[in-house]
Amino acid sequence: MVLSTRVLRLIVLELRQTVTATKEVVLSAGTIGTPHILLHSGIGDAETLESRGIPSLVNLPDVGKNLSDQPALGNMCIVSNETLRDELLVNWERHRTGPLVASSVSHIAWSRIPSNSAIFESVPDPSSGKNTPHYELVIGNGAGLVSTTPGHFISIGNIVVSPTSRGSVSLSSNNPFDQPLIDPAYLTTEFDIFAMREAVQSARRFLAASAWNDYVIRPAGGLENATNDQLLDEYIRKGTFTSAHPVGTAAMSSMNASFGVVDPDLRVKGVSGLRIVDASVMPFVTCGHTQAPVYIIAERAADLIKETWGLQCAVSSVELCDST
């Protein structure tokens, strides 16, 4: 049985409206919003929906499951060079040039855990290959994006870019205007906590280099007390937050797979006339930022939709369209 759903029920400024699509509905509400809408529409795990008082229309147990995000952690060190700071400020005020032009993030680096690391004796490498990173270092002047601590700092944020932890998005009630329940499940696997620990140690090694002598004074913000693995793990778990790269809650799978939410053409399984185009369709998060992959998904979706409905694309000086 395939559910035909081309009808949208909207509430705009307290006015209820029904809109019927002649071809198909494209859902692009994001990794949190998309499963929230699907579940309230009766598309999801039938047993869970019924427990919330929502009639089940299509039993897709994986809706809202498989939430994958890249956990982030901010680290900072106190720096000291009042004379240099004053010189840089004068340069900025007079010429609008120099290091103070920079945003909060001035450098980004990606790195891997060594292949002979003990972690790979118990868990497989989750990255896609030997040149693919496990973690990211985000370097900037100041105390970082999430700190309000006064003073002079250099910060290095850590992000685990190949996480194996999986969370979920579920319903708090059968009221579509209530916020969903979001469980990111950060650092719930052995690999993820190990990778974050390695990322922090990498940041420490970087700032311990002789080039920082007389500039970097000491760690701050809790990092100074993380003197062993147990204390370091406590510091990590206390300070970890989202990198805003969530994906996977309406994950793609092969056409005949019994799991997943959308097929390779981004159409919701068991439903006719409904396609999802956002980061929720990614089965796992890419080992980097998610903006470019979402652009790729959108471009591919545009081609699929045009092909499905026999639409002609515009021909410009930089792009030509053909039947492929």
- Bridge partners of residue 219, in order along the sequence: 77
Nearest to 72 by CA among 153, 157, 197, 140: 157
3-state secondary structure of 266: coil
289 catalytic? Reply is: yes
The catalytically annotated residue of 36, 40, 134, 245 is 245
Q: What DSSP assignment string belongs to 298-313?
A: HHHHHHHHHHHHTPPP
H helix count then E strand count, the chain: 6, 16
Q: Are 225 and 231 in contact (CB under 8 A)?
A: yes
**Where do the DSSP E strands lie in 6-64?**
7-12, 15-20, 25-27, 43-44, 58-59
229-239 vs 190-207: helix axis angle to the nearest 10? 100
In angstroms, the CA 8 to CA 25 distance is 8
**Each residue of 41-69: b (16+ CB within 10 Å) or e?**
bbbbbbebbeeeebeebbebebbbbbbbb
In angstroms, the CA 259 to CA 273 distance is 20
Q: Annotated active-site positions, please?
A: 245, 289
